[in-house]
Amino acid sequence: MTLKKLIKILFVLILNVPIVFAGYDFPKPTGEYAVGTGRYHMIDRDRLDPYDQSLFRELMIQVWYPTSNKATGATAHYLPDIMPHMKSMASEAFYVPQIVLDYLVVDIKCHALENAPLLERKQKFPVIVLCHGLSSMVSLQTVHAENLASHGFIVVGINHTFACSLTVFPDGRMYPLKFDWHASDKCKEFTKIVNIWQQDVSFVLGQIEALCNEQNKPQNNMFYHKLDLDKIGMLGHSMGGATATQMCRRDDRVKVAVNMDGPLFGSDYEEGFKKPYMAMIAEGSINRTNSRLTEQELVAKRMTREEESYLKSIFNFGNINLCGNIRALGADAYYVYFLGGGHNTFTDVLLVKDSSFLLGFLEYFGLNTGSIPPLRAVEITNKLLVDFFNKYLLSKPAILLEPSHHSHFKEVIISR
């Protein structure tokens, strides 16, 4: 029996247990504020798109921000622009009727209110720029973005066009992933991605600065004079974590960075910088890079043994050495090792796949969410992120990051 036939049969069988597919709620944010969200279309008219030279570089941005607990309005849907197209792609790939997918895919409920007003207060808000992993999308970091916003941060998430799974623009244009996973020189391609994303982040930072300019005071600009441009941090998963690291190294506007399970690229990947840094690394990712590929696997991946060794070194030792070099320069650096963690422990994937039997079945096809119970993994990650950004962007105590509390979670080992 082929895989496609097996999946088709599973879809039909699951129809008989509709109770499994009731709506699913993400964990409630733990901060004192309610959360608003909005999406924005940005065009960099000073740069042609590196993937399509006939276009200017365009990006879709999602922002999560604090709003009043009295705010009302529609609750944000999960992946509202993407989900219909993803279901169509799944229908074509697995020969499953669209009506079946419409019935089976769970309604995942977020907590943010669409286009709610920004919280009114005199104090400006610190900003965290968020980057997704290669072939992912920023919406798959919703559980972390909503939680940070509830604690008083404005989170600016960037979808990196042609390097995320699917980008949908307001006029209906759709651009899928264009990355060549079989490129002959993997390290060169990955470094190229990080360089492109650095330019994307620099552009978005410029747009954030423009929101605070005297010339940009339209009535619909709720962020005017509300952003603290001296308190900008970065958070990224996988390739987004590598980008956050490079931005912390190369852009003075970025004051701190958190890298969630991201390998580091570029000739200066171990070069230290005098800024606070936290690397959150999954045990499963370390184990995967420690396993030696067979000659057949190398051929299939179009990878040389030298490339394999290099990729192992930058993942296994890059962040450890970088943290050491940062400490040597006099800044704080934390290496947080997640026992039982997988690469997607740091995304919504571990929650989405846990929302139904059908999606949970997909774990067998390599979702890499690890063995930590999903809600526990979210709790740990969110608490450490809030602690880190509270300490270095808001000058608040970070109890969980202090050596006396490093054993607070049995699932993580924190080195400082």
* 3-class DSSP assignment, residue 4: helix
- Are 263 and 242 within 8 A, CB to CB? yes
Q: Among residues 293, 272, 255, which one has the least CA distance to residue 128? A: 255
List pLDDT tens digits, range 356-394.
544 554 554 557 888 999 999 999 999 999 999 999 999
The band of 19, judged by pLDDT with boundaries at 50, 70 and 90, is very low
The per-residue pLDDT for 350 is 86
List pLDDT tens digits, range 394-416.
999 888 888 877 778 999 999 88
Q: Among residues 179, 229, 225, 177, which one has the least CA distance to residue 205? A: 229
Q: Cα–Cα distance between 338 and 316 in angstroms, integer?
A: 14
Q: Cα–Cα distance between 84 and 104 in angstroms, integer?
A: 13
The band of 85, judged by pLDDT with boundaries at 50, 70 and 90, is low
The per-residue pLDDT for 331 is 97
Give every CB contact of residue 96 below 8 A, 6+ residues apart in sequence.
7, 8, 11, 90
The per-residue pLDDT for 293 is 76
The band of 355, judged by pLDDT with boundaries at 50, 70 and 90, is low
Q: Which residues of 318-334 are buried (b: 16+ CB within 10 A; e: fewer)?
A: bbbbbbebbbeeebbbb
Task: Dig out the tokens for 366 from the structure.
Answer: 């390599």
List pLDDT tens digits, range 194-205.
999 999 999 999
The per-residue pLDDT for 20 is 38
The per-residue pLDDT for 118 is 96
- Are 262 and 318 within 8 A, CB to CB? no
> CA geometry: angle at 27 spanning 26 and 31, to 5°?
130
Asked whether the predicted pLDDT for residue 78 surpasses 50, the reply is: yes
Q: Cα–Cα distance between 40 and 158 in angstroms, integer?
A: 10
- The mean per-residue pLDDT over the stretch 18-33 comes to 72
* 3-class DSSP assignment, residue 72: coil
Q: Cα–Cα distance between 377 and 348 in angstroms, integer?
A: 11
Asked whether the predicted pLDDT for residue 272 surpasses 90, the reply is: yes
- Are 319 and 346 within 8 A, CB to CB? no
For residue 296, give the H/E element and its range. helix 295-300
Q: Cα–Cα distance between 359 and 350 in angstroms, integer?
A: 10
Helix axes 186-211, 239-250, angle to 10 degrees: 60
Q: Of 315 and 219, which is predicted with more confidence?
A: 315
Is residue 74 classed exposed, middle or buried when 0-12, 13-18 and 19+ CB atoms within 10 A define those classes? exposed
Question: How far is the first Cα of the chain from the last one, in angstroms, to the nearest whole number?
Answer: 52
The per-residue pLDDT for 214 is 62
The band of 163, judged by pLDDT with boundaries at 50, 70 and 90, is very high
* 3-class DSSP assignment, residue 101: helix
The per-residue pLDDT for 12 is 41
* 3-class DSSP assignment, residue 286: helix
Work out the percent of the chain whose per-residue pLDDT is above 70: 83
The neighbour count for residue 362, using CB atoms within 10 Å, is 15
Q: Among residues 142, 172, 199, which one has the least CA distance to residue 349? A: 142
Q: Of 5 and 58, which is predicted with more confidence?
A: 58
Q: Cα–Cα distance between 225 and 120 in angstroms, integer?
A: 12
The per-residue pLDDT for 189 is 86
Give every CB contact of residue 59 below 8 A, 6+ residues apart in sequence.
41, 42, 43, 44, 158, 159, 160, 161, 200, 203, 204
The neighbour count for residue 146, using CB atoms within 10 Å, is 26
The band of 146, judged by pLDDT with boundaries at 50, 70 and 90, is very high
- Are 278 and 258 within 8 A, CB to CB? yes
Which fold does the domain 27-91+105-415 belong to in CATH? Rossmann fold (3.40.50)
Q: Of 276 and 317, which is predicted with more confidence?
A: 276
Strands 34-49 and 52-67, bridge-based pairing: antiparallel
- Are 338 and 283 within 8 A, CB to CB? yes
List pLDDT tens digits, range 333-345.
999 999 999 999 9
What secondary structure letter does DSSP report for 171?
A: T
Q: Cα–Cα distance between 152 and 148 in angstroms, integer?
A: 7
The per-residue pLDDT for 7 is 45
The band of 312, judged by pLDDT with boundaries at 50, 70 and 90, is confident
The per-residue pLDDT for 13 is 36
